A and B are shown apart, each in its own frame.
Chain A
Amino acid sequence: MQLVELLASLLLLLSFAMLAQRRIASLVNLFALQGAVLAASTVAVAASAGLHHLYYSAALTLALKVLLLPYFLRRLIARLDLQWDTETLARIPMQMLAGLGLVIFAFGLAQPISRFGHEITRETLGIAIAMVLLSLLMMIGRRKAVSQVVGFLALENGMVFAATTATQGMPMVVEFGIALDVLVGAVILGVFFFQIREQFDSLELRHLETLKED
């Protein structure tokens, strides 16, 4: 029970670390780490609640979020020659403060819901919502395509954490469907990176801001 809470706070910490990370290669490492902690927390919930289907869910997270996607992203970064690429993030302290505000908001939002929750996971729903909101904040702040996608995948992590802790996992068929969508989506985005770079010679999103109402 306390293990779940410890892992939950680790997840929140990692969300903040991703918010502040400038180097794209390190961002992928943080994402993989977040996936590993997520899988561990799923196992912890499964063990303490005695739910067998959650082990499959943890295996799915491990395979997808720790091994497959980070491997895929790293290869992409290598092939696009982005190893040493960094974001020019303005005002990291401001982003951190905004993040803190979001965490408080998330706990406020979770309060009326988690009253009805299970014993084991009552406190963690707020953290799941905070993870989702922090990933959104991260996506807003980023100017490069790859880091926006990592933000998107981190948002998905928040969803999975919400599903495991609040409802002790979704039905297996739904979890597989979600995993399939994420995987296909990541592959499509990978193809997209090459097309964007071919078209604009860089992966800066400022090139993608010309379609506007005039």
Chain B
Amino acid sequence: MELIALLGLPLLGGAALALWGASPRAAELNALFSLATFVAGGALTARVILGGPLVIGNEQFFIDAFNVFLVALTSLVGLTTALFSRPYMRIETDRGHLSPGRLRLYHSMYQLFMFTMLLALTTNNMGILWVALEAATLTTVLLVSLYRTAASLEAAWKYFILCGVGIAQALFGTILLYFAAERLLGASGGALLWTHLDAVKGQLEPTVLAIAFVFLLVGYGTKVGLVPLHNWLPDAHAEGPTPVSAVLSGLLLNVALYAVVRCKILVVGALHSDLPGRMLMGFGLLSVLVAAFFLWRQRDVKRLFAYSSIEHMGIITFAFGMGGPVANFAALLHMTVHSLTKSAIFFAVGHATQKAGTQNMEDIRGLLLRSPTIGWGLMLGSLAILGMPPFGVFASEFLILTTAMREQPWATPILLLALGVAFGAIFRRVQPMVFGEPHARRLPHSPALLPVFAHLLLVLMLGLYIPGQLAAWYRLAAGLIG
């Protein structure tokens, strides 16, 4: 029941907003659908936490502690981003950047994007997982190209081609997975269901699964933004509307990584070796390192934080690669706090760029004097994402680093170096934007700052104190990942 609501509401919202997406109340309607989805997500979460994993809908849907935590996070960020996008998109429309038709497209695609994310998370079928992620690419391509400028068309084209080709590799990986499973499970259609695969993973043919994992990792890894498959990510973040950057960083990257981890669980079970873990660690470290150095060269504020997303995805991938209860716990925590912090930063950045009328960091100055709340939001968000205590990112990064020292000591200096470089790169840019001498425009609508501070408060809370139930839930999910 909750699941039907969870998937049905955004789908219905997509259809409704395709009709009324340009009306004056469309933004409220969008937020209302997101709120209803969030309530459904909360109800589903409560049910799974209290009653254990669910396999429903003719076994096509499977919800356990691992994905229900992402369902809760996704629907929460979906709701807050909808709240943020209400004034943001109004300002854009008032300034003549968007026509009513485009606004309708935006609202409709926003809901459909939420649908694809939630479908990818809840499905039990590895084939449907692929279909949902590809559909997510299609909806976001339209969102990235919303402004129809030369740069946004280029970004969307690059995104489409790179992610389309990338995710085609994942389809080939899925075919190979099916190929290996069909021999054990028969062709009855059960051979792509994750729960069935998980039950027989020890008997799957190791050579086939090893090759399949390479394709799956490259395919879904493109969507995670792992280096060297990350080229689309900064462009797509920088050229699309800011609410889209927030959901790309906050949701899409997480869900793609979720797909990688689901595959890793199967392949580790079949291979009886740590090869998938080592591959994840390698890709993760490379992403952290390369992104940290690229951060220094950025001039566009949204590109800066896009590279920061690559860096954090690298950290999470590395942690999942190490495996074990502590590292998985830390990775899940980091997924949560990164998603909340990065979307909060994009909310603040969105209003800051609207005030300054540019995304060029040299031209954004003195936010603190002109609009203290946006300034503080950006400053605190940046400090949080840089891993300053007492925010939650500090807690998860600390856990990942200490685990790395114990289990993979060789990787620790690389991680520390990258974190240091990233700190310098971001802080040097954000400091003059927030302090410095101001020159800014007035905004025709008051900015939405509730989402920014709500997220930062949650991240602060997770840094100071993780409620016992939440910790137990993370531990449960970490145990499932193995």
Which residues of B (331-361) have their CB < 8 Å from a CB of A? Answer: none
Which partner residue on chain A sits nearest B60 by CB separation?
Answer: A173
A177 & B189 in contact (Cβ 8 Å cutoff): no
Interface contact A170-B157, CB-CB below 8 Å: no
Which of B125, B148, B155, B164 interacts with A185 by CB under 8 Å?
Answer: B164
Q: Is the CB of A210 within 8 A of B154?
A: yes
Q: Do the beta carbons of B131 and A178 come within 8 Å of each other?
A: yes
B residues within 8 A CB of A139? 161, 165
Structural contact, A170 and B151, CB atoms closer than 8 A = no
Please report which residues of chain A, range 151-195, place their CB below 8 angstroms from some CB of chain B when the two chains form the complex. Answer: 152, 155-156, 159, 162-163, 166-174, 177-178, 180-181, 184-185, 188-189, 192, 195
A167 contacts B171, C-beta separation under 8 Å: no
B350-393 interface (Cβ within 8 A of A): none
Neighbouring B residues of A174 by C-beta, 8 Å:
125, 127-128, 130-131, 192
Q: Known contacts being A116-B183, A195-B153, A208-B154, is A159 close to B178, with CB within 8 Å?
A: no
* B160 / chain A contacts, CB cutoff of 8 Å: 185, 188-189, 192
- Of chain A, the residue at the smallest CB distance from B297 is A213
- Among the listed stretches B16-24, B138-146, B316-324, which one makes contact with chain A, having 4 or more residues with CB under 8 Å of it? B138-146
Give the docked Cα–Cα distance between A113 and B205 (Å).
Answer: 9
Contact A167 B297 (CB under 8 A): no
Residue A148 at the B interface, CB < 8 A? yes
In the complex, which residues of chain A have a beta carbon less than 8 angstroms from the beta carbon of B297?
213-214
Docked-complex contact B158 and A211, CB < 8 angstroms = yes
A167 CA to B142 CA, complexed, in Å:
34
Interchain residue pairs with CB less than 8 A apart (13): A113-B207, A148-B161, A152-B168, A159-B168, A167-B175, A167-B178, A188-B141, A192-B145, A199-B148, A200-B150, A205-B157, A211-B151, A213-B294
A residues lining the B interface (CB < 8 Å): 51, 109, 112-113, 116-117, 129, 132, 136, 139, 145, 148, 152, 155-156, 159, 162-163, 166-174, 177-178, 180-181, 184-185, 188-189, 192, 195-196, 199-200, 205, 207-211, 213-214
Q: Beyond A112-B208, A117-B179: 17 further Cβ-contacts under 8 Å?
A: A113-B179, A132-B172, A139-B161, A155-B168, A168-B187, A169-B187, A170-B178, A177-B127, A195-B145, A195-B153, A196-B153, A196-B157, A199-B149, A208-B153, A208-B158, A210-B151, A211-B239
Which residues of chain B have a CB within 8 Å of any CB of chain A?
125, 127-128, 130-131, 134-135, 138, 141-142, 145, 148-151, 153-158, 160-161, 164-165, 168, 171-172, 175-176, 178-180, 182-183, 187, 189, 191-192, 205, 207-208, 211, 235, 239, 294, 297, 299
